[in-house]
Structure 1
Amino acid sequence: MGEEVIAKKSYPKRLDAAGKAPMKGRSMHINCTLDSLAKLKEKIGEDAYSQIRDQSKVGVLLKLADSSFVWWGKLVHHLLTHQLAISRPYEIWCLIEGSPIRFSLHEYEDITGLNCAEIDVEDIVAVDHREFWGDLKVAAEKGPNWNELESALKSCRSWSLEKRKMLGLLVVVHVGILGISRSSRIPLDYAKRVLDTEAFERFPWGRVGFKELITSIKVLSYDRTSYAIHGCPHVLNI
Structure 2
Amino acid sequence: MEDNGEDNRLPPRLFATDRFPTQRLNIYSRPNILAFIRHVLRGTDTFKKIRESPFGKLFDLPTHQCAVSCKLIHALMTRQLICEVDHTFWTVFGSDPFKFGLEEFGDITGLNCGSLPEGYEAPDHNEKGANKQENAHTDPFWQRLIGKDNNITIADLADQLEHDEEMDDWRRIRLALIIIVDGVLVASTQVHRPTLRYVQMLEDLDSFLEFPWGRESFLHTVRSLKPPKFFKGKPVDDPVALLVSKLKQKTFRLTGFPLALQLLAFRAIPMLLSKWPAPSQVQTIMDVTERDLPAQNTLDTNDILLVEDNQQMVVSSITPVSRGQQPGWGVWPFEKTDEKVEYMEQLISINHNFTKTMWPGGDRSETLRVVPEEKGPAEEGIEEQVPVHKKHVVQIKRKRSNLQPRQPSTNPGSATKRRRTSRVSSASTSNTDTNKDVEDRLSVLEARVTNLEKANQSLKESRRRRRRGSRAPPNFPNFALNHRRRLHRGTVHNSEQANRDGDAEKLPIPQDPQRWPQISSSPISWTPNAAPPHPRTPTS
Distance (whole Å) between structure 1 residues aligned to residue 153 and residue 212 of structure 2: 21
Query: Equivalent residue of 2:18, what SS?
Result: coil
Query: What's the offset of the Cα at 1:41?
Result: 3.4
Q: 1:133 aligns with which of 125, 134, 146?
A: 146
Tell me, yes or no, if the aligned pair for 2:58 and 2:110 is still in contact at 8 Å. no
Q: Distance in 2 between matches of 1:49 and 1:237?
A: 30
1:71 to 44, 67, 71: 67
Q: What's 1:187 paired with? A: 195
2:105/2:260 contact within 8 Å kept:
yes
RMSD, aligned CA: 2.8
Instruction: Using the TM superposition, give the Cα deviation of residue 145 of structure 1 relative to its aligned residue in structure 2, in angstroms.
Output: 4.0
Q: CA deviation at 1:209?
A: 0.1
Who is 2:185 aligned against?
177
Q: Does 1:90 align with 2:115?
A: no
Displacement of 1:17 after TM fit? 0.5
- Kindly indicate whether the alpha-carbon contact (under 8 Å) linking 1:37 and 1:175 is maintained by their aligned counterparts in 2: no
Paired residue secondary structure (1:108): helix
Letter matched to residue 250 of structure 2: T
Give 1:14 shift.
0.6
Q: Quickly say closer, same or farther: Cα 1:10–1:71, change in 2 above 3 A.
A: farther
1:152 aligns with 2:160: yes
Which residue of 1 is the match for residue 51 of structure 2? Answer: 54
Distance 1:182 1:46 in 2: 31
**1:20 matched residue in structure 2:** 19
Give the letter aligned to residue 115 of structure 1: N
2:101 paired residue number: 104
The answer for the alignment partner of 1:80 in structure 2 is 77
User: Is residue 40–residue 49 contact of structure 1 (8 Å, CA) maintained in 2?
Assistant: no
CA 1:157–1:27 in 2, change beyond 3 Å: closer, same or farther? Answer: farther
How many angstroms apart in 1 are the aligned matches of 2:110 and 2:175? 23
Shift of 1:184: 5.5
Task: Name the structure, 1 or 2, with higher relative contact order (CA <8 Å, separation 6+).
Answer: 1
Cα distance change of structure 1 residues 48 and 192 upon mapping to structure 2, 3 Å threshold: farther
Could you tell me whether the CA contact under 8 Å between 2:25 and 2:253 is conserved in 1?
yes
Which residue in the other structure is 1:237 paired with? Answer: 262
Shift of 1:48: 5.5
Deviation at 1:71, TM superposition (A): 2.7
1:11-70 Cα offsets, whole Å, 9 max, x none, are 1111001121112xx122212222222122344554156325422212222333x74434
CA contact (8 A) 1:156 1:164 kept: no
In 2, distance between residues paired with 1:33 and 1:110? Answer: 20
Q: Residues 162 and 130 (structure 1 numbering): CA distance in 2 closer, same or farther, change over 3 Å?
A: same
Q: 1:156 to 1:228 in 2, by over 3 A?
A: farther
CA contact (8 A) 1:52 1:58 kept: no
Give 1:198's aligned residue: 206
Q: Distance in 2 between matches of 1:147 and 1:182?
A: 11
**Alpha-carbon separation, structure 1, partners of 2:98 and 2:76:** 9
Change (3 A) 1:114 1:70: closer
- Gap runs ≥5 in structure 1: 1-7
Gaps of 5+ in 2: 1-6, 121-139, 229-242, 264-540
Query: Computing the radius of gyration over CA atoms, which structure comes out larger, 1 or 2?
Result: 2
**What is the number of equivalent residue pairs in this alignment?**
221
Conservation of the 8 A alpha-carbon contact between 2:33 and 2:180: no
1:150-169, Cα deviation, whole Å (9 max, x unpaired): 45345433201231111110
Structure 2 length-normalised TM: 0.37
Residues in 2 aligned to 1:174 and 1:152: alpha-carbon distance in whole angstroms: 16
Counterpart in 1 of 2:485? none
| SS of structure 1 residue aligned to 2:247 | coil
Contact 1:44 1:164 in 2 (8 A): no
Distance 1:96 1:121 in 2: 38
- Please tell me whether residue 32 in structure 1 is matched to residue 57 in structure 2: no
In structure 2, distance between residues paired with 1:226 and 1:200: 34
Compute the displacement of 1:173 (Å). Answer: 0.4
Distance 1:145 1:115, change over 3 A: same
Question: Could you tell me which of 190, 213, 218 is aligned with 2:221?
Answer: 213
Letter in 1 for 2:114: A
TM score, norm. by length of structure 1: 0.79
Q: Which has the higher helix share?
A: 1
